[in-house]
Chain A
Amino acid sequence: MAEKASESSNSISLNTVDGKIFKVSPTIANQMQTIQSLIKAYDSSRVISLPHVNAFHLSKIIEYLEGKSATTVSAVKEFEAQFMKDLSLKQLKGLLIAVGYLKVNELLELMPKTVAKLIENKSVEFLRKFFGIVNDFTPSEEAKIREEIAWAFDGVDED
């Protein structure tokens, strides 16, 4: 977790939208591209505010970055699978947005891949229900989409 106890003058303070301060090491902070560029712009002693990230999401990102660096190469896949597994769909979405904002490269690879796995070979109806999306098309609009590009395939998994 965050190195709240660390008195290191090198540590970087991050202030989330819900008002929690996280102190992280430069190694961790630099793996978030957005923060990396903010560090360059700011005086390092100042607290960097993150208006789009809440404490839960930031703590998850830090948990991932710290956990991964402490994991042996052979166990990374397992660690990543466990990390993703612990999230609810709502958390997954929120974390995706936070990761997209902070530009955490490794998670930008892992998380979209995880979501893609959920979409693969599923029917449209299943996906709407699964992702809590309301069908806002009129029947004629729906027919039109299928015409737009001829290639809509048959062949999905059983829901």
Chain B
Amino acid sequence: MSASTANIISSMSFRSSSNSNWSDLPSDVMELILQKLTLMDYLKCREICQSWQNMVRDALSTKGKCPPKPHFPFIIEPTRTIPFLVNPINGKYYSFATELNYGLSLERFIGEETLCSQKTNIQHYVNVFTSVEGWLIIQDYFNARRWKEKDRFFGLICFYNPVSKAMIKLPTLCFTAFEDDAYESSKVVMSSKPDCKDSIIVILLYQYWTDYKLFFCKVRGLPWTKIETQHCGDIGFSDIAIHGSKLYAITNVGCSEYVVVFNLSNPNAVTSERIVMVQDPKEQGFTFPHWEIEDCAYEKSFLLMDSTSGDLFIVHCMLRYDEDFENWPLKFAVYKLDKSVPRWLKIERFDDKILLLDDKGIQFISTTNLDGPCMESIQTNCVYFTLTTQISKEIFNDIGVFTLSDKKIQWLECSLAYKVGSVWFTPSLW
């Protein structure tokens, strides 16, 4: 056989031989190789030669039958038109080769608005809310003050897959807000990827910091509909989570937090019930930590629905800003709802899973199918976080890993220029 001169290129020590031409690999063999590559290398194979390009194109057209190897999620910058992605584990970062034209949504959809004729001089903003299975939920919102309606914003909310460039527009939502904090703190959850037409999308809007509103819509067939919360008492919600047509919301009034469950299956008759006291020291089953709240510290609760098991979790964290970054006393605690009592049970282990937390969302990911060199340093039973805190006028972001068992934090170095509001994102081809 070919006794080519040994050209050791890696530990695998394959010899590159001039008489071997790999352009004519059978497509079934190529598909097996593609499935062992992460998305970036998978797509790179298109650029090798025409034959490989055609094979990748065919693999892409299978819509999921030939998927790339799962990759540990990236952190994506939220607002820039050329978003940067960083792999927080090995610190490697990637950029899009082509500028992402978020503004496209405006150009593409404004024709449907009555505002169309006054399109010039629109000051518009882009914001990434969160992501779901390869789709970013972006908001392209613009100020209508030119139309003599001060403080009124018209938000175009879209699902956007930056890999396939697919965009799915949601109904237009009008809201009122201060310019500066417009939607910085609102939250969006969705029951599934947008390609399912029954997917329900819920937005929790904080306005003027005291006014909380919940709206829901469907990708097709249901415009934004307000969820009435008066009968829940005059309260606000600090976080929401969704499972099918059930929306869970956690309240934040004083120390008597509880969870309200809304049934959204009938848009004309939304029902709700309280299910559990969350934080009342007199209540039996109270298990939250009695963290001593220090100066410049505050607590925040994140609600998490594990869609595979249908279990509800609360991730409780204490954030604090101090001039001395070395002594940031960031703490996390995770609770699972014991539905039979009901009460919250503190947990420190969740099998092979890890928690990914950002300002706009929280999710479990399984590490079982993840692969690659950086996976050796991935620890389970950990919270991987990118969190933003605002103290007076200054905003800070930190990225790290909190280990539940020993309560230690390991900071992760990320070379993003603008980390504030960054979210976890796993790119997907479909």
Contact = CB atoms under 8 A, between A and B. Distances in A.
Interface of A: 56, 84-85, 87-93, 96-97, 100, 108, 111-121, 124, 127-137, 142, 145-155
B35 interface: yes
B37 A128 contact: no
Contact of A84 (B12, B25, B26, B96): B12
A127 B49 CA distance: 10
B98 A154 contact: no
Given A97-B26, A133-B23, A149-B163, A116 B41 contact: yes
Contacts of A142: 47
B94 A85 contact: no
Nearest to A151: B163
Contacts of A145: 46-47, 53
Interface residues on B, range: 35 or more
B48 interface: yes
B45 interface: yes
Contacts of B41: 116, 119-121
B40 interface: yes
A144 B213 CA distance: 45
B95 A154 contact: yes
21 contacts: A88-B17, A89-B15, A89-B16, A89-B22, A100-B28, A117-B10, A118-B12, A119-B41, A124-B47, A131-B48, A132-B16, A132-B17, A145-B47, A146-B97, A152-B47, A152-B97, A153-B97, A154-B94, A154-B95, A155-B92, A155-B93
Nearest to B40: A153
Contacts of B122: none
Nearest to B429: A149
B165 interface: yes
B80 interface: no
Contact of B163 (A118, A128, A150): A150
Given A116-B33, A133-B23, A137-B50, A149 B164 contact: yes
Contact of B21 (A100, A116, A131): A131
Interface stretch (B1-9, B223-231, B321-329, B361-369): B1-9
A133 B19 CA distance: 10
A132 B19 contact: yes
B9 to A, nearest CB: 7
B13 interface: yes
B162 interface: yes
Given A90-B17, A93-B25, A151 B43 contact: yes
Nearest to B427: A151
Given A88-B2, A88-B15, A96-B29, A132 B47 contact: no
B309 interface: no
Given A119-B41, A132-B17, A112 B32 contact: yes
B339 interface: no
B121 interface: no
A93 B33 CA distance: 12
A89 B36 contact: no
A4 to B, nearest CB: 21
B33 A112 contact: yes
Contact of A133 (B10, B21, B69, B163): B21
A116 B2 contact: no
A130 B9 CA distance: 9
B117 interface: no
B93 A127 contact: no
A126 to B, nearest CB: 9
B14 interface: yes
A89 B330 CA distance: 52
B100 A96 contact: no
A118 B14 contact: yes
Q: Which of B2, B46, B47 has the most CB of A within 10 A?
A: B47
Contact of B20 (A93, A113, A124): A93
